[in-house]
Amino acid sequence: MAVPTPHGVPDRPGTPPVPPELAELLRVQLAAVADEVEEEVRRQVPEYARPADGTYRRNLRSGVVQALTLFVDHIADPRDDGGGIEATYYELGRGEALEGRSLDALQSALRVGGLHAWRLMGRTAEELGLDSAVVAALGELAFRTVHEVAQAAAAGYAEARLRSSDELERRRRRLLDLLLEDGPVALEAVQDLAHNARWPVPRTVAVVALAAAPDRREEERPLAAAGALVDMESRPPRMLVPDPDGSGRFGGRAFTLALRGRPAAVGPTVAVTEAAQSLRLATRALGLMGRGVLPRQGVVRCSDHLSTLLLYGDEPLLDRLRARVLAPLDTVSAGQRDRLAETLLAWLLSGSNVPDVAVRLHVHPQTVRYRLRQLEKLFGDALHDPHTRLDLILALRAESLGARPV
């Protein structure tokens, strides 16, 4: 937030044609001028119209006096860099940022104060009969003084805003860690951290797990601005979105566009204290996307694939189930095995209706009957046992999704 040097005021002006003795004359008037400048700032800048007592009054008064002192010191010794006073205005800028006032208000106060001080002191110079060159030089010094204190204040303001932004980000990261940790999460603890992080606690949330993409943070900005808690450093990168089924900020096309084509899995909507559950399913779904079990590209919503996520909740157990109930298929060739497995799953899902199976597989009904006779030889009476049929559906469904032993 650098303040540009005013037109006609060099960074290091040479010695102006101003009698140094004028400094002492102006210094005598400094307290009276400070009174008027302070009142003018309070009158013209609404943000500074505070009660005229207490700490605030002392701080405002001190700032005015020090700026006027810097101006007079420049007259007495043009080589004085005003380092101490600039440090004071640096701290003033920091204080304004921390109090939540805008930089515009601070700069307005400096402009109003500088102009009014120049009018008062310039009037003194005219009353002393100084020629126009001296008055012009005083004007240059006034511009230089305002520029120096404004630049110092802006630097302090920028530093405080940066630190405030960094601190807010750290608080939100701690809040996200709390919400996503394993085990019970107390709502009171969430509310305390959320208050410090300036994050309104929603009723429901969903966690999004993102495919890793180095140096890709573009999607973080719009989503964080909309209220998402984002951690792109975790593995996988993740974000927690508030009220995903409410306003629509995190649904549909807008959300997909914000991700810029990055594959993502959206966990189910849960209560805010149950966010870890949403994260677990989103992470599982993202892993299945990488393996091709779920679509590899785009945004996959767990709520659309709950049965698949349930099926893959314990893969070693799923492999045992597949190995046991599909063992009869291991006695035929690979090509024949695939055709029989496809036919058996379609037959089980269609309620043993041969014409429906034929339509589903785009084959002749007689072909279906031929394959069913082969399956009867392989499985026997197990094909008609309700419990075995359920196990077969689960195992064959996993196989059709591309499952392989892990």
Report how far residue 169's alpha carbon sits from residue 230's, in angstroms, rounded to the nearest whole number.
9
pTM: 0.58
Q: Which two three-digit tokens encode residue 377?
A: 């030889």
pLDDT of the residue at 372: 93
Contacts of 253 (CB under 8 A, 6+ apart): none
Q: Is it true that the peptide bond before 386 is cis, omega within 30 degrees of 0?
A: no
List, for the chain, all residue ranges whose pLDDT scores fall below the cut of 70: 1-18, 50-60, 78-85, 100-101, 162, 164, 214-226, 246-254, 256-258, 403-406
Give the strand pairing for 264-266 and 299-301.
parallel
pLDDT of the residue at 80: 58
The total of other beta-carbon atoms located within 10 Å of residue 122's CB is 15
pLDDT of the residue at 12: 42
Q: Residue 140, SS3?
A: helix
The total of other beta-carbon atoms located within 10 Å of residue 220's CB is 17
pLDDT of the residue at 214: 61
The angle subtended at Cα 89 by Cα 88 and Cα 93, nearest 5°, is 125
Report how far residue 50's alpha carbon sits from residue 57's, in angstroms, rounded to the nearest whole number.
8
